[in-house]
Amino acid sequence: MAGRECYHCKQWVEEGEEHDCWTTTEAALTQDLSEDLQDAWERLRETAVTFGDQRIYASGTCIMFSRESCYFFVRPKRSFLEVCVFLGRALRAPQVRRADRKSKTKVANILKITHRDEVEPPVTDWLHEAYELPDVLASRADATRVTSKRKPRPKKKAESKRR
């Protein structure tokens, strides 16, 4: 039969058949996790949902949690959950594998979660702090605008070159 092999996933696709190997779901990303990791994932998701209005979606190999922008994401691995939390500061704690500055205002803090019991303070506090970071940054920007209002410069006198 006529068809082609997808160059991404190497799956055979019949001619006329729809194929989208980039589409993924939370269930697809978490289905092969061990029971302990499934429990840890569920606790992470439940905790994030309590923070308020947000969008939770699967993208590539990650499950993203975002308001205006992503404030944390989970990358399910075979033996642990890699959690990346975007904060305004680098964290120093045993749970933190590394911290990378991603912009002038955000640091990506990479955590390694292996069990449900690890999803408790301070991890949940960091997630909540990340959720509220856009509000904090906006209030700082507003305060900066108010305090940095300058007096208008005096206008230069225009010299008349026409005579």
For 75-131, write each residue's pLDDT tens digit.
Answer: 999 999 999 999 999 999 999 999 999 999 999 999 999 999 999 999 999 999 999
Domain ranges in the chain?
22-136
Tell me the CB-side half-sphere exposure of residue 2, using CA atoms within 13 A: 3
3-class DSSP state of 64: strand
Distance of CA 120 to the CA centre of its chain: 19
Q: How many CB atoms lie within 10 A of CB 78?
A: 8
Share of the chain above pLDDT 90, in %: 62
CA distances from 142 to 15, 103, 149, 152 (A): 56, 19, 11, 20
Distance of CA 51 to the CA centre of its chain: 15
Q: pLDDT at position 23, please?
A: 66
